[in-house]
Structure 1
Amino acid sequence: MSATTPMTHTFSSLESSMEPDMTTSPSPAQPSTASRRSAAHRAPAAQAAASSGRAGQAFWRALRSEWVKLRTLRSTWVTAALAVLLTAGFGAALVIALHQMEDPKPWANVVGGTQLGQIVVAVLGALAITGEYTSGQIHSSLAAVPRRGRLLLAKATVLSLFSFVIGTLSVVLAWVASVPFAGEAAGSLTDATYLGFVWGTGLTYAGTAMLAMGLGFLMRSTAGAVTLVLSLLFVVDIPLALAAMKWEWATTVRALEPGVLARAVYDPFGAIQQWGQPGTVTFLEHWQAALGFALWALVPMVLAAVVFSRRDA
């Protein structure tokens, strides 16, 4: 007994020295305070990232849904074809005719049919939403996309992109049709000024579609929205032009019409229209006119968003 006791005591001391100090080292099952704080900070970030990812996927699905609805409507392709035909046909005809009359810049008239195309695009923009209210499909749209702001943004995105393509394609086709008859006088797609007609017309059609869609959301009537858009673009200019012969204020009002301001958009480099002319309907600077047209497109959509979020479908 006396011989083994010291040996036992020695092994016990060695085992005690090899055991972890439970008072100073945290247990793997119980994380330290620093670890808990780090996890607490990471959790909201992970949740935000997941929420952002879900929102992005939901918006992408809303975009695809709106594109399917737009492209499966017969009226979409009828109005698109008519807009392209009017814009390209009149533009090419003007270029060819003025070339034969030895006009120094016949190519600048390639956008001569843009105003006619705006009429058709306005109909397309109004139908994109008023057709849903007429058929009752708006209820299905809201069931699929309950967040109205997301639904409105998806509709606006799809319609504006589609209208932009209509505008750019129209000018390109007008150039293709006029080159065989006018040659180099028809312009060149490599020229920055001429290329401005292409994307400028696309932006004009996108803005016109937004104006019509915004009014369509507010009025819920195809006839009412189209009539109001056409009145703003063209009809109201007739009495104002007559009034401008006598009163200066009428000239100022005419300068703020969307139809006049649109010239700064489809002619972005001022090849046709000179701006900043005091006492005329183009007294605004070029950038001011372009901004004014953008406001005509955005303000109705903002008002539509407010009303759409508060009014029953």
Structure 2
Amino acid sequence: MTSFPAILQSEWTKIRSVRSTVWTLALTFVVTLGLGALLSFLTDNNFEQFGENGRTPFDPTGTAFSGIMLGELAIIVFGVLAVGNEYSTGMIRVSLAAVPQRGTLLTAKAVVLGALALAVALVTAFLTFFVGQSLLGDHATTVGAPNVLRAVLGAALYLTMICLFAAGITAMLHNQTLALGVLVPFFFLLSPILSAVPKVKTLARYFPDYAGQRMLLVYQQHGQPYGPWAGFLICLAWTLAALVGGALVLKNRDA
């Protein structure tokens, strides 16, 4: 029986040896930071045009993270490729021959994937915040302000959980093209559309993207059904469900 540390080492080697996974992680960082910096700069230079909505104060933290939706897309692709590459190349059979314990294999893959995603997400979140605040001038906040550190950490955890959610869905579908065909429309078409439809928007508020983005809130916004901690638990539940589903499919279906 292969030891768990050896399986972790093997999974780490697989991920870092695939160029596309490295580029998608880099793109997560560049897009989130770059777009957030651009919008922070534009906000500072056109602040009087934005005005106050009378309900919540201006949120400089949220402004810095304005690019996180596109960063989310990149890290979803990373999660899909990190799992789906083995299915597309047929290497999953080799992996299962080396590690017959399928649950152990997926657990090791999730640990390595989650650790790498979290490391990149933490760097991305903190640099995005500090660069954004430096460009907001007099409208900036500090990491020591109430709820700000929690929001920055929430951004990193959100990106990590979305990555693992994508990995779990890919493990269930056994196909990276199909996984992207499900996840991208779900997050960027279905979820936003349903959130705007009165009769179903209550359900859409419990989707993983909506719940995860509550983790970035510094101020409780008018009309929001729940706050950051509930959002964290809902997003975590979706992530665990996807990973458990992936493990069950892997155990009961031929590679």
Aligned to 2:69: 115
Give the count of matched residue pairs. Answer: 246
Secondary structure of the equivalent of 1:262? helix
The one-letter code of the counterpart of 1:257 is F
**Aligned residue among 188, 203, 207 for 2:142:** 188
Q: CA deviation at 1:165?
A: 1.8
Alpha carbons of structure 1 residues 242 and 186: separation in structure 2 relative to 1, 3 Å: closer
Q: CA deviation at 1:67?
A: 0.9
Aligned to 2:37: 92
Cα RMSD, aligned residues only: 2.3
Identity %: 29
Aligned to 1:257: 207
- Long gaps (5+) in structure 1: 1-53
**Aligned residue among 44, 61, 68 for 2:13:** 68
1:152-189: per-residue Cα shift (whole Å, max 9, x none)?
11100111111112222112222443455334644334
Q: CA deviation at 1:286?
A: 4.0
Partners in 2 of 1:89 and 1:128 — Cα distance? Answer: 24
Larger radius of gyration: 1
Secondary structure of the equivalent of 1:141? helix
Alpha carbons of structure 1 residues 83 and 286: separation in structure 2 relative to 1, 3 Å: closer
The one-letter code of the counterpart of 2:252 is R
Alpha carbons of structure 1 residues 254 and 180: separation in structure 2 relative to 1, 3 Å: closer
1:172-212: per-residue Cα shift (whole Å, max 9, x none)?
22244345533464433444633223321221111111111
Q: Give the TM-score, by structure 1 length.
A: 0.71
Moved more, 68-77 or 250-259: 250-259
Alpha carbons of structure 1 residues 238 and 75: separation in structure 2 relative to 1, 3 Å: same
Q: Give the TM-score, by structure 2 length.
A: 0.86
**Aligned residue among 235, 243, 248 for 1:306:** 248
**Aligned residue among 141, 146, 168 for 1:214:** 168
- Relative contact order (C-alpha < 8 Å, sep 6+): which is higher? 2
Partners in 2 of 1:263 and 1:179 — Cα distance? Answer: 20
Partners in 2 of 1:84 and 1:272 — Cα distance? Answer: 25
Please say if residues 234 and 259 of structure 1, whose CA atoms lie closer than 8 Å, have aligned partners that are also in contact: no
Moved more, 185-194 or 61-70: 185-194
Aligned to 1:59: 4
Please say if residues 129 and 213 of structure 1, whose CA atoms lie closer than 8 Å, have aligned partners that are also in contact: yes
Partners in 2 of 1:139 and 1:264 — Cα distance? Answer: 40
Q: Aligned runs of 1:117-132 on 2, under 5 Å?
A: 117-132=71-86
Alpha carbons of structure 1 residues 193 and 75: separation in structure 2 relative to 1, 3 Å: same
